[in-house]
Amino acid sequence: MAEANEPAKEAAAGADKAAVAAEVGRVSYEALKSASAMVKPGVRLIDVAEHAEGFLKQKGFGIAFPLNISVNEQAAHYTPSLGDEKLFGDKDVVKLDFGAEKDGILGDCALTIDLSGNNGKLLEAAQAALSDAIATVRAGVKVRDIGAAIAKAIEKRGLKPIRNLGGHGVGEHELHSSVFVPNYDNGDDTEITDGMTIAIEPFATDGRGMVSDGDFYEIYDYIGEFSVRSPAARKVLSEIEAKYPHDPFAVRWLAGSAQSKFGLYAAVRELLAADAIRAYPVLVELGNGLVSQFESELLVEKDGCRVLTGPA
């Protein structure tokens, strides 16, 4: 009798996960839109980050990764440092990338704000690319075909897709998993499958169409417990293990684990050197071109897809 109930149990578990994924997607987008309303010239980046992250906590959700606030030629991975006083400028092109977490299920979504009002085509290119890509998604589609739709939408507007960034599968406590979804036709015949969760994130630029690692690091994730020499670093590592064992974290989230800002950053450097944590450098467009980004997370279905993070 127990064996006969197994399919029913599996179906119920799958339905529960789907419900959580829909909930996570909805609140991820709500947090992103709430943060975007704060982005104005003269506002501190850290205030927007703390608002978005606090929004999720107030709703009873975890944070899949720190709010990314990448400006102008930055494509990804900027989040404010502890005590960061950086302000938005009146000509900034601002990318916000964010997601909620619940029971290991992660949300992921992004949008771009043009504070100058002069970069409409840049934003339109990435937004149209996302829309066109979503229209191609269904079980059995090759990732190269999704990439081709993205590139076509961007290039017809006289801009370039960023070729060494792209979308990705999303697993439990694994933001980048299973499949890479390119922003151009890269020749990859991998097919997406029914029930797979993927994030599609076109990046458009008026630069060279490639990014490289910058020299700013504020986002990390935990690799494992390694021997570190100083008591200060051990204390910081203990907090990381306790609070952020699965998903990326920001250094500023660890402020209470050290006696000073200098001590905190010294401990983080020691943990990085010991391979206890991994850094995510800010990604910068190689030609210093402006970059736009839009992203939605999707549940792949037999004949299409369900948008988990995006406008209702």
Q: What is the mean pLDDT of the chain?
A: 94
189 pLDDT higher than 80: yes
Query: Could you tell me the pLDDT band of residue 190, with boundaries at 50, 70 and 90?
Result: very high
**Whose structure tokens read 């982005």?**
39
Separation between Cα atoms, residue 95 and residue 305, nearest integer Å: 25
For residues 178 and 158, which has the higher predicted lDDT (pLDDT)?
158
146 and 254 both lie in a single domain: no
189 and 249 both lie in a single domain: no
Q: What are the tens digits of pLDDT across the range 18-70?
A: 899 999 999 999 999 999 999 999 999 999 999 999 999 999 999 999 999 99
The whole-number pLDDT of residue 6 equals 64
Catalytic-labelled residue, pool 73, 92, 168, 247: 168
Query: Could you tell me the pLDDT band of residue 139, with boundaries at 50, 70 and 90?
Result: very high
Q: What are the tens digits of pLDDT across the range 225-252?
A: 778 889 999 999 999 999 999 999 999 9
Catalytic-labelled residue, pool 132, 201, 270, 285: 201
The whole-number pLDDT of residue 18 equals 85
The whole-number pLDDT of residue 2 equals 53
Catalytic-labelled residue, pool 30, 51, 145, 176: 176
The answer as to whether 12 is a domain residue is yes
The whole-number pLDDT of residue 11 equals 46
Number of domains within the chain: 2
Q: Angle, nearest 10°, between helix axes 261-273 and 231-243? A: 80
For residues 114 and 10, which has the higher predicted lDDT (pLDDT)?
114
The pLDDT of 254-270, averaged and rounded, is 94
54 and 116 both lie in a single domain: yes
Residue 147 · residue 155 · CB < 8 Å: no
The answer as to whether 312 is a domain residue is no
125 and 228 both lie in a single domain: no
Query: Could you tell me the pLDDT band of residue 17, with boundaries at 50, 70 and 90?
Result: confident
CA dist 56 → 61, 99, 105, 220, 309 (Å): 5, 9, 14, 20, 14
275 and 261 both lie in a single domain: yes
What is the number of H-type helices and E-type strands within the chain? 6, 16
5 pLDDT higher than 90: no
pTM score: 0.93
The whole-number pLDDT of residue 3 equals 56
4 pLDDT higher than 80: no
111 and 249 both lie in a single domain: no
174 and 246 both lie in a single domain: no
Annotation says 97 is catalytic:
yes
311 pLDDT higher than 80: no
60 and 79 both lie in a single domain: yes
Which residue(s) pair with 285 in the sheet? 211
Catalytic-labelled residue, pool 23, 53, 73, 97: 97
What percent of the chain is modeled with pLDDT above 90?
88
- In the numeric block, which tokens belong to residue 301? 């279905």
The whole-number pLDDT of residue 1 equals 46
Annotation says 3 is catalytic:
no
Annotation says 201 is catalytic:
yes
Domain of 102?
2-212+287-307
Annotation says 90 is catalytic:
no
- In the numeric block, which tokens belong to residue 300? 């792949």
Supply the CATH number for residue 138's domain.
Answer: 3.90.230.10
Supply the CATH number for residue 228's domain.
Answer: 1.10.10.10
Residue 211 · residue 165 · CB < 8 Å: yes
Q: Enumerate the H helices of the chain as residue ranges.
A: 2-36, 45-58, 120-136, 143-155, 231-243, 261-273
184 and 90 both lie in a single domain: yes
173 and 259 both lie in a single domain: no
145 pLDDT higher than 70: yes
182 and 39 both lie in a single domain: yes
Helix (H, G, I), strand (E, B) or coil at 140: coil
156 pLDDT higher than 70: yes
The amino acid sitting at 20 is V
For residues 31 and 177, which has the higher predicted lDDT (pLDDT)?
31
The answer as to whether 297 is a domain residue is yes
The answer as to whether 151 is a domain residue is yes
163 and 258 both lie in a single domain: no
